[in-house]
Amino acid sequence: MHQAMEMPKKVVRKIPAKIDIAEEIKQAHRQLRVAAYCRVSTAQEEQLNSYDVQVMPYSPLHFRQARNAGQE
């Protein structure tokens, strides 16, 4: 008569992920490097004011004030 075939036991093997903690921290705190281009076409007073207005958002003081305003 027919013998019942025994199925082999399934084996599950867990493979842990390889995470480089130092690299993860480095990527999380990576700074974005940017450049700004500001210019004026003449030396007239209105143009000099225009230059100041263009440069202001990139000044360190402006960054500090904007960051502090966002925390309130």
pLDDT tens-digit map of 28-52: 777 777 777 888 887 777 777 888 8
Euclidean distance between CA atoms 12 and 2, whole angstroms = 30
2 in any annotated domain: no
Question: Counting Cβ atoms within 10 Å, is residue 40 exposed (0-12), middle (13-18) or buried (19+)?
Answer: middle
20 in any annotated domain: no
pLDDT band (50, 70, 90) for residue 70: low
22 in any annotated domain: no
For residue 58, the 8-state DSSP code is: G
pLDDT of 67 higher than 50: yes
The pLDDT value recorded for residue 22 is 84
The pLDDT value recorded for residue 72 is 42
Query: How many domains is the chain partitioned into structurally?
Result: 1
The whole-number average pLDDT for the span 10-31 is 83
The pTM of this model reads 0.35
| Structure tokens belonging to residue 51 | 């230059």
